[in-house]
Chain A
Amino acid sequence: MGIYLPIAEMSVNVFVLLAMGGAVGFLSGMFGVGGGFLITPLLIFYNIPPSIAVATGANQVIASSFSGALAHFKRKSLDVKLGTVLLAGGIVGASLGAVVFAYLRRLGQLDLIVSLLYVAFLGVVGGLMLLESVNAMRRSRSGESISLRKPGQHNWIHRLPLKMRFRASKLFVSVIPVLALGAFIGFLASIMGVGGGFIMVPALIYLLKVPTNVVIGTSLFQIIFVAAFTTIIHSTANQTVDVVLAFLLMVGGVAGAQYGARVGQRLRGEQLRALLAMLVLAVAIRLAFDLFVRPESVYSLSMGGA
C-alpha cells in the first residue's frame, strides 16, 4: 500500500516503513539503544533525501527513547541530575550542529559528511565493542570475574575542577567533561539524526565511570530532550521533518522494541554486545561501500539552485 509523504514529496510503501521501524525497534529493544543510527542509513538506502532522513530520524528516536526511559524511570535506574547536566551541553551542541547542517546543505556536501560521520563513528564504536566483547567472552570462559568499574582507579578526567556530586551514579566529578560530552553528542545528534546512545553509553561507562545500571536510563533520558530539541530546530530552520514518515517508523519501532527486549533478556551481556558490534560494523561497511564505489550517476540535482 502506497502512501504519499507530504514533506519528502514522494510515494512510499507503508509496509516497508512499518517493517523497517519494526526491525530497528526489535534491535533497539534487544540492545537497549535508540536505533537512530540504523534508521537514518536505512531511510537513505530507501531513497529518502538525507536531509529529511536525518531530521525525521531524530523525531523517531524520541518515541523509542521515551518508551525506554519510562521503564528505567520506574526502576529508578536513571540519574536525572547527571542527565540534566549532559542535556545542558547537548542543547548547545545540537544548536551548533543545526547551523553546520544548514551550511553543509547549502554547500552540497551534506550527504558526504553525514556518510563519513556514520562510517567513522560506527566503524570505531563497532570495532571497539567487538574487541571488548570478544575479550570479555574469552575471559569469562577462562573463569575470571570481570567488572567494568574499578573503584579508586581514576583517570585524568577526575582531576578537573568544578566538581559536582551525582548521587544516583555515586559519582563526584567535574562538570566540564560532562558538559563537553553532552555538547559533542548533541552536535552529532543534529547532524546525523541519531540520539547518540551508541556513543553516550560507552563514554559514560569508560570515561566517566558511571555504574552500568544507570547508564542506559540516563542516556535515554537525555536523548529524549536532545532529539526533541533537534527535531524542533530542524523543523524551524530546514522544514525537513516528515511527521507521516516518522509516525510510521515509530509505530513499527515501539511494537518491535518490546519483543526485542524479551529476546535480549535471554542472551548474555557479552554475546549481546558482540552481536550489536557486528551490526554496527555492517552498517558502517555498507555506507563506506557507497562512498568508494562509483555511483550510478555522478550527477545529482538539487532544487532552488542552492
Chain B
Amino acid sequence: MRVMALLHASALLALLPVAFARAQEGSPENIQIGLSTDRVSITSDFSGAELTIFGALDNADPLIARQGRYDVVVVLEGPSRPVMVRKKTRVLGVWVNTQSEIFRDVPESYSMALTRAPQDITDPGGYRQLALGPANIHLQPLDPEGDPKTIEEFSAALRDRKEATGLYSVRVGGVQFLSQSLFRAKLTLAPNVAVGTHRARAFLFRNGMFLRETSAQLTIRKAGLEQRLYEFAQDHGTIYGIIAVLIAIVTGWLGRMIFRKD
C-alpha cells in the first residue's frame, strides 16, 4: 500500500524515502483538534453554515511538513438514525413506491474536508479500512438476509439522495495548513442539518499512511423560539394544535379589521 501511495506522489518521489526514514526516528506525530464552540445553534435565519475546526500536529517532522506530505481529513458525522429507502416503479403509468429497504444507524449527515483530492492522500483501500468518506459509511440493512444485489442498489441510492440534498458532502481543499503544524478545516453544514450530537473526527496521514485519529463532540440544536416550538409540538401536540388554531382565528379577524373594504 505504501508503495502505491509513493508512486502517486510523482514530483516528490525522489525525496520521500529520506523524509520517511527521518520521521521514524523521532517521537510519533499526534493530531489534535479544537472546536471554538461545542454547540451550534440553529436560529430562525439559519440557511446552512460553515463550521471551522482548528487543529495542530504534535511532533511534526519539519521536512515532511515543508514538502507537504502530511494530509489531514476532517469529518463531521451527524447522529445516526434508521432510514427507509423507497423505490418508485411504474404501475399503470403512475410512479408508485413499491420497494423499500430499511437501514440501521445511518448518519443523518456526513461532511468531509480534505487537504487534497482523496486519491492523492491515500488509496481506496485505506479509506475503506477506516470507513472514511461517504462511499465507505457502513450501511447495515435491518434485514441482513435480503438479496445482496438489492441491498447494494438501495445503499447506493441512499448515498446518492443524501448527496443530492447536501447532507453528505466532500470538500477537497477544505483543510488548509496555516503553518507547518497548524491547520484549519472548513466543513459544510447543510440548511437541513439534523439536530443532535455530531462527532468531529480528524485523520492524519503521512505519505499516504494513516497515522492517527482524534475526535471531538459538537451539539447542534435549535435555538430560542425554534427549539421551544419544536419541543412543545413534540411534547404537547394537542395544546400546540389549539394554539395554532387560535393564532389562525386571531390572524383572520385582524386581517379583516385591517383590510376590510366593505
Interface residues of A (CB under 8 A from B): 1-4, 6-7, 9-11, 59-60, 62-67, 70-71, 108-109, 111-112, 116, 224, 228, 231-237, 239, 241, 243-244, 246-247, 250-251, 253-255, 257-259, 261-262, 291-295, 297-306
- With a cutoff of 8 Å between Cβ atoms, the chain A residues found around residue B242 in the complex are 232
Q: How far is the CB of A265 from chain B (nearest CB, A)?
A: 9
Q: In the assembly, what is the distance between CA of A303 and CA of B194, in Å?
A: 11
Interface residues in chain B, defined as those with a beta carbon under 8 Å from any beta carbon in chain A: 42-48, 81-89, 93-97, 100, 102-104, 142, 154, 157-158, 160-162, 164, 191-192, 194-195, 222, 225-227, 229-230, 233-234, 237-238, 240-245, 247-249, 251-256, 259-262
Q: List 5 A-B contacts (CB under 8 A).
A: A9-B195, A232-B238, A235-B240, A254-B255, A305-B102
> How far, in angstroms, from A236 to B87 measured CA to CA in the complex?
29
**Given the contacts A59-B245, A300-B161, A292 and B97 also touching, CB distance less than 8 Å:** no
Q: How far is the CA of A186 from the CA of B104 in the complex (A)?
A: 38
* Smallest CB separation, A286 vs chain B (Å): 15
CA of A228 to CA of B252, assembled, Å = 13
Query: A244: nearest residue on chain B (CB-CB)?
Result: B229
Q: Measured between alpha carbons, how far is A242 from B222 in the docked complex, in Å? A: 15
- Beta-carbon contact of B244 and A235 below 8 Å: yes
Known: A246-B247, A297-B160. 8 other contacts (CB 8 A): A6-B229, A7-B229, A67-B256, A254-B256, A298-B95, A299-B161, A305-B104, A306-B84
Q: Do A59 and B95 have beta carbons less than 8 Å apart?
A: no
Set of chain A residues within 8 Å of B142, measured between Cβ atoms: 305
Contact A4 B42 (CB under 8 A): yes
Q: Is chain A's binding surface mostly helix, strand, loop or mixed? A: helix
How far is the CB of B246 from the nearest CB of chain A, in Å? 9
Q: Please tell me if the beta carbons of B244 and A243 are within 8 angstroms of each other in the complex.
A: yes
Given A235-B237, A235-B240, A244-B229, the answer on whether A250 and B248 have CB atoms closer than 8 Å is yes
- A292 vs B96: C-alpha distance when bound (angstroms): 10
Q: Which residue of A lies closest to B194 (CB)?
A: A9
Task: Say which residue of B86, B87, B194, B244 sits within 8 Å of A231 (CB atoms).
Answer: B244
Separation of A301 and B192 alpha carbons in the complex (Å) = 14
Q: Are B253 and A10 in contact (CB under 8 A)?
A: no
The complex places the Cα of A172 from the Cα of B87 at a distance, in Å, of: 53
A2 CA / B82 CA spacing, docked (Å): 30
CB distance from B33 to the nearest CB of A (A): 28
Residues of A within 8 A of B82 (CB): 303-305
- Given known contacts A297-B161, A305-B83, A3 and B256 CB-to-CB distance under 8 angstroms: no
